[in-house]
Amino acid sequence: MEETTGACRLRTIGYKLWYGDFCALHETTLDIPSNRITAIIGPSGCGKSTFIRTFNRMNELIPGVRVAGEVLLDGQDIFRLDVVELRRLVGMVFQKPNPFPKTIFDNVAYGPRAHGLRDRNRLAEIVEKSLRSAALWDEVKDDLSKSGLALSGGQQQRLCIARTLAVEPEVILMDEPASALDPIATLKIEELLQTLKKDYTIVIVTHNMQQAARVSDFTAFFMTDENRSGHLIEYGPTSRVFTNPREKTTEDYISGRFS
């Protein structure tokens, strides 16, 4: 794929995935560049979540999943890396905000603590820094001992982003992070993405075409075939994919001719 400039952080080569006998994802070869936002778009069931969950090996939690092909993080085969270490490097924000039933502080401190950090001052620093980066600090700084579940949906999602940032990942995967949020909360998350991309490589799944066009630098379009298997149809800089798609299917999808 010629258009990806700069260092490539994630790469899949002929990557394929089956749920039991069902092939959910056909050979996918694609490079995800460093410090850019890459959007994954496509109709429901085309394998967007399946694809993004590859990079932190979340699919392994599902019994009966098989994969083929290669997936590289900075040139290293992720299936050879220690999965716990991989997931520290590749963080994930889920579609439905999922803060733990703990305080705001404990939610953010959860990762660092699990990785062995005990020092209270250091933890407090990390919590503040992460909440600031997630643009949540000003709203919660006086109430860090409140339950994370008591926040609004948009705040909960930013708390989950802060929780992910606290373990200092290099890549952040986001599976429709704004689909459960109202437009204002969505806008906040989108702004946040722009500041985060300076430090992180971001891969975001979205159903919302405008959102993909607004926030991303690169766009990958997936589509199902007659067997409901997902195929990568087109991948390139967002501006090019949206204004001058090479594939007829992409054009049809983007112009809303089917959903």
Partner 1 sequence: MRTRFIVDKSVGYFLMLMALTSILAVFLIGFFTLREGLPAISEIGLGRLLTGSVWRPGLEEFGLVPMIAGSVLVTIGAAILGVPLAIGCAVFLAEIAPRWMSNIVRPAVELLAGIPSVVYGLFGMVVLVPLARKVPVAGNSGFGLLAASAVLAVMILPTITNISEYAIRLVPREYREGSLALGTTRWQTITRVILPSARSGIVAAIILGIGRALGETIAMIMVIGNSVIIPRPLNANPLTIFLSQARTLTGNIAVEINYATGIHESALFATGVILFVLIMLINSSARAIMRERTR
Ligand X SMILES: Nc1ncnc2c1ncn2[C@@H]1O[C@H](COP(=O)(O)OP(=O)(O)OP(=O)(O)O)[C@@H](O)[C@H]1O
- Contacting positions for ligand X (CB under 6 A): 19, 22, 24, 42, 44-50, 62, 207, 228, 230
Phi, psi angle pair for 233, to nearest 5°: -95, -45
- Measured from the CB atom, is 4 or 54 closer to partner 1? 54
Whose tokens are 């936002």? That residue is 37
Q: Which entry of Mg ion, partner 1, ligand X, none binds 141, CB below 5 to 8 A by partner kind?
A: none
Question: Among candidates 75, 79, 71, 69, which has minimal Cα distance to 14?
Answer: 69
Q: Which member of 102, 132, 207, 214 binds partner 1 (CB under 8 A)?
A: 102
Q: Which residues of 167-198 are buried (b: 16+ CB within 10 A; e: fewer)?
A: bbbbbbbbbbbbebbeeebbebbbebbeebbe
Q: Which entry of partner 1, Mg ion, ligand X, none binds 114, CB below 5 to 8 A by partner kind?
A: partner 1
Q: Which entry of partner 1, ligand X, Mg ion, none binds 45, CB below 5 to 8 A by partner kind?
A: ligand X
Site map 25..64 versus partner 1, x via CB under 8 A:
-------------------------------x-x--x-x-
What minimum distance in Å lies between the beta carbon of 171 and partner 1? 12
Q: Which member of 38, 49, 130, 133 binds Mg ion (CB under 5 A)?
A: 49
In the sheet that holds 76-77, the strands lie side by side as 76-77, 65-73, 8-19, 22-33, 230-237, 218-224, 37-41, 201-205, 171-175, 90-93
* 3-state SS class at 33: strand
Q: How far apart are CA 224 and CA 233, in angstroms?
A: 9
Q: Which entry of ligand X, partner 1, Mg ion, none binds 26, CB below 5 to 8 A by partner kind?
A: none
Does 211 interact with Mg ion (rule: CB under 5 A)? no
CB 16 within 8 A of CB 68: yes
Which helix or strand (DSSP H or E) is residue 113 part of?
Answer: helix 104-114
- In the numeric block, which tokens belong to residue 96? 């439905």
Any residues with CB less than 8 A from the CB of 6 and at least 6 apart, and which?
33, 34, 35, 36
Q: Which stretch binds partner 1 (CB under 8 A): 136-144, 162-170, 196-204, 248-256?
A: 162-170
Q: Which stretch binds partner 1 (CB under 8 A): 21-29, 93-101, 133-141, 246-254?
A: 93-101
Q: Contact positions toward partner 1, by CB under 8 A? A: 56, 58, 61, 63, 84-89, 91-92, 94, 96, 98-102, 110-111, 114-115, 160, 163-164, 167
